[in-house]
Amino acid sequence: MADKFGHQFTTEDRLPRVGRRGEEAWRNNLDSLYHLLKREGLMMPSSRGDEWRISPQGSMFSACQMDPVDERDLLADFSPKDASEYVARVAGRELTKKREHEDLLRSYGQEMASMRWRPSTKVHPRDLELVRGAQTWLVEVKVVYRGNGTEAARAALAQLLEYRHFFYSEGVKPGMVALFSEEIGGAHISLLSDLGIRVVWKTQTGWGGERGAYSGGLVP
């Protein structure tokens, strides 16, 4: 509760609740509301004096009520103590995505499906997972703005490493693919490739990629 909504609590909010004069207690009693939320499965069961905790169902419900947020705002002043805190913050909010990003993601996913890969976008906040047999690839999509391949490459590298670290267990780490809206330049392609990241990009006539992406069957 405190992690998600604590900044909205006033000093009065934290005091024991009682009903207003002349009202039934349940109409203005925080404890009654809390018990109602527990019955609905939105709060975790607890005993008197325990910390109030939102259930997984409640987290999904609260996330659905939030407007999409820019990632820079979401992570402002955020230094997670552990992986669970990171996942709760990042997975619990919908990030804003521009139309170009969604179009590129959709086009690539459809092409890969025709090559017998199973694409899944239900892996928020990650962009895409590709699965075929025992193979799993984590795909990060980046639109190159104003020809700035440097910024796009840096962002893709950081997010791929971050998501693979926090969202996957040891021993089941996926391969990594950086997908760009245009070629990002040989230097950055070489950098990502040397770090084990396959690189794919959109061309005017179709798709391109570095050698590892072609050999892995990741270029449509």
Asked whether residue 74 is domain-assigned, the answer is yes
From 94, 109, 136, the end of a domain falls on 94
Same domain, 19 and 120: no
Q: For the segment 24-42, what is each residue's pLDDT rounded down to a tens digit?
A: 555 555 566 666 677 777 7
Distance CA 141, CA 123 (A): 13
Higher pLDDT, 65 or 205: 205
Point out the domain boundary residue: 21, 48, 64.
64
Degrees, nearest 5: CA angle 93-119-59: 20
Are residues 121 and 158 located together in one domain of the fold?
yes
Please give the structure tokens belonging to residue 165.
């670290």
pLDDT more than 90, % of the chain:
46
The answer as to whether 220 is a domain residue is no
152 and 53 both lie in a single domain: no
Query: How confident is residue 80, by pLDDT bands cut at 50, 70 and 90?
Result: low
Hunting for tokens 């999904």 — which residue is that? 60
Q: Lowest mean pLDDT: which of 10-14, 138-142, 197-201?
A: 10-14
Beta strand 135-142 with 175-180 is parallel
121 and 167 share one domain: yes
Mean pLDDT of 187-208: 97
Q: How many distinct structural domains can be found in the chain?
A: 3
CATH code of 137's domain: 3.40.1350.10
**What pLDDT digit, counting tens, does each position of 36-61 carry?**
677 777 777 776 666 767 776 666 55
Assess whether 37 and 74 both reside in one domain.
no
pLDDT of residue 124: 82
Q: Of 82 and 146, which is predicted with more confidence?
A: 146
Question: Is 186 found in the same domain as 107?
Answer: yes
Same domain, 86 and 109: no
> Do 52 and 113 fall into the same domain?
no
Please give the angle made by the CA atoms of 187, 191 and 195, to the nearest 5 degrees: 165
In a domain, 160, yes or no: yes
Based on the domain organization, do 113 and 158 belong to the same domain? Answer: yes
- For residue 82, give its domain range: 66-94
CA dist 55 and 65 (Å) reads: 15
- Sign of the torsion angle spanned by Cα atoms 185, 190, 192, 196: positive
What φ, ψ does residue 167 adopt, rounded to 5°? -105, 0
> What is each CA distance from 174 to 30, 117, 120, 164, 215, in whole angstroms?
45, 14, 14, 7, 16
Asked whether residue 153 falls in the same domain as residue 143, the answer is: yes
125 and 209 fall within a common domain: yes
Q: Which of 69-78, 101-110, 133-142, 152-161 has the lowest mean pLDDT?
A: 69-78
Same domain, 168 and 189: yes
pTM: 0.61
124 belongs to a structural domain:
yes
Calpha distance 213→175 (Å, rounded): 11
Q: What does the DSSP assignment read for 147-201?
A: T-HHHHHHHHHHHHHHHHHHHS-TT-PPEEEEEESS---HHHHHHHHHTTEEEEE
> What distance in Å separates the CA atoms of residue 172 and residue 136, rounded to the nearest whole number?
9
